[in-house]
Chain A
Amino acid sequence: MEIITRQVPDKPLTVTIEYPEYTESVKGLIKRIETLDVSFSVTSEDRQMRIAQSDVYYLEIVDRKVFLYTEKDVFRLNAPMQEIQSIAEDSDLVRISRTCIMNTLHLTGIRQLKNSHLEAELDNGEKLIVSRKYLRDIKRRF
């Protein structure tokens, strides 16, 4: 695969994919690129804004409300967890417990604690508890 990049001023970021044949790997590549463009509508101090999926560290349900965590901030998300789960398919987002979806893009490692619970560490130093049941789903993302 050849990767060509060029700067085109005053135009939005454009990805062109050229392929000899439309195969499953091409389809997968397109899907992955599409997910990079996904953003979430969040509420912060009564104003709406959008957060790109790549900036999301993890999402968590607390008291039936969905919260979105970025490197330093927390936002209330305006979408049910089921909808996020469907967006998360074929993306870097993966469910790690019943109440938490993590972005593997920011994952720096997984380790087993002394009490044999699993812990994921993110690149902002945050640590999340991983349910063993979802370990295989995380593995599939790599």
Chain B
Amino acid sequence: MTIRRILRDTCILAALMILVVFSCSIIWSGVTAEISLVLSLFGLALMITLVNYLFDEFLSLSIMLSYIVKYFVFSGIVMLFGFIAGWFFPSNFWMAFIYVGVVLVLAYVIDAFKMRRDIDYINEHIKKKSVA
């Protein structure tokens, strides 16, 4: 729990540091290629987080099906965003499927593990309560 919190706080702090440093850089040297890339990544992350939230809020699919649907939707978003931002060329756009796939496989494994653990925790407490 502590490790998770430290990792989460580290990511938030790193994101804040990047935003602050790059915001200052914009004032001094304008929007450079690196700044533009980082801002695009933040924009993409925001879009994916928003779509993910809407998915979880309005669709009630099984864990596997939900990840399969998300895989294609997120790959589409990354590809579209990548083309607009100039990250992909027509020859390497398929790489979006690999990037998204790796992230989602990791997320699925963590999610499935956490869900199993939460179910066991709840059932354990119900059992204790009924024995008491």
Contacts and interface: CB of A to CB of B under 8 A. Distances in A.
A129 B65 CA distance: 16
Contact of A111 (B57, B66, B119): B119
B64 interface: yes
B13 interface: no
B118 A142 contact: no
Contact of B63 (A109, A111, A132): A132
B113 to A, nearest CB: 12
Interface residues on B, range: 20 to 34
Q: Is the interface of B mostly helix, strand, loop or mixed?
A: helix
B115 interface: yes
Interface residues of A, number: 21
Contact of B58 (A98, A118, A129): A98
Contacts of A129: 60
B66 to A, nearest CB: 8
Contact of A117 (B62, B116, B119): B62
11 contacts: A97-B60, A98-B58, A110-B119, A116-B62, A116-B64, A118-B115, A131-B56, A132-B111, A133-B57, A136-B118, A138-B118
